[in-house]
Chain A
Amino acid sequence: MAKQRGAIVVDIERCKGCELCIEACPTSVLRMERKVNGKGYHFAYMEDPGECTGCINCAIVCPDGVISVYRVKVEA
């Protein structure tokens, strides 16, 4: 059965740490990093990358457009 695997890249310096992407993620992949960026905001990262399906939900709700999404089809 074909399955999709995804991955995201967060533009760390532009992330404002609003956490809306974490709410939007259907597979609970994302968490906030303990570290902060240059402006003092915590930023999102993939805690559980194996679960990402590349659905782009996190990216379209991101108000600052900091998330890029990549997706491939894989065989389970």
Chain B
Amino acid sequence: MGAVEIREEYRIALEVCPTPLMLVSRDGNIVLCNERFAVLFGYLPGELHGQSVDVLVPEEIREFHPELRQAFFEVPTSRNMGTGRDLYGMKKDGELIPVEIGLDPVTPDENALVMVSVLDIRERKMSEAKIRRAIDAASSAMVMIDEHGKIELVNEQANRMFGYADQELIDHKIETLVPHRYHRKHSVYRTSYQNTRNQRYMGVGRDLFGLKKDGTEFPVEIGLTPLDGADGRLIMATVIDITERKLNEKNIREKNQELERLNHELTEFAYSASHDLKAPLSSIYGILELSETDLENGDIDEVRTNLSRARMLAQRLSGRIEDMLTLARADHLDDVLEEISIPDMVREASQAVQGQSSQTSQLTTEFAHSDPIHSSPTRLSAILENLLANAFKYSDPEKQQNKIHIKTWDEGEVMKLAIQDNGIGIPEDHLDKIFKLFKRVANSNEPGSGLGLALVEKNLAHLGGSIEVVSSHEGSCFTVSLPQNRKAPATDAPAQNLEVAK
């Protein structure tokens, strides 16, 4: 095909036109281009004349370009090139610039020419990119859908939140991000929303969930904003993952319940404590009042008896106060761990207890653990004294001889100590209550504060140990377990909550 004659009027027309333009022949040669065109692509005026248009085509599609060009010339019509695709032109120095290209056939004959107008859309692309960056920088996830529920735009946060790759969600239904069980309802809600199209939160009062690509669900809060524009009736949904908020709410709720429980226990404690402290006092009051009457009547013997009763009551009261203080202090004891000889400690404890007890019992021992052990002497002696005191106190008057047997053994790293008595025993339905504060279950006239076993359990908890009890009419057996992990003694065992008996 020979050179095409270009009329001078064409040349002048091209030069005065503000748009970069070129004329291309059917075989792809640049017949003419204006200066604006040459400048846009970095060429000198006239430098492009006679060259193939393919020099302006990015390398990766240069291969297919002749075929596309041929197809165009078969049915030449005025139109935009590559509708819907991003087009780039290549400058002389290899730089790619985003362009929009218009094609207009000029002479519909053998020597057909096509007028190619090229629009530099770099600025538009840049402002688009700026908006895109702004959307991606938003802290909440954003998903834009069209009026049919098709996803048009997803920002980075949304992709990350739902676990999708860039562009992966585009053109999918919005229900992709909604748990399956809500699909049917969701499309109805969506249609209803299209009728009101107001800016509001989705599903106020309901718990909303998002569905990730991996199938996991998470709680969300969603704001809806209608966007009306040339692109149709769009909806922008901003999504906030409220997993953490829900978790915090749950934590706070639990903390509150815990506080309420503790507060309730404290009230119960105050109730029981005031009751137990006041009871001996009011008895003393009553006794003294009677003594006044007896004195007036000259009944000195009765006065004497009553004074000793009052003294006993005062002693009981002082014991209770002491017990309460001991219990309160049990949480704040400094645990100094020492080597302890159990036989020595049992001997000391039984001497202390027998000194206070009105009952006599035969105490036998059987030590088979590895002595000494490693523990807190303060706590361990409190445990032993309380258990022994109970064993002495709740003896069975029906039995010929009151017996208490203490035996010890090792069970792996745990030292076991059992105190077996043949006392009155504990009714089975009360076994679970005996470690509670102020709970006295024994059918016995022996005075008690109801704090002894609570104190035992608390001290054991601090030593990382535990206690078990079996009981029948034949007597009771309390078995203490003390872990003997000498490498890491349990000094920081969590303090036990006070459980106050009703």
Are A and B part of the same complex? no
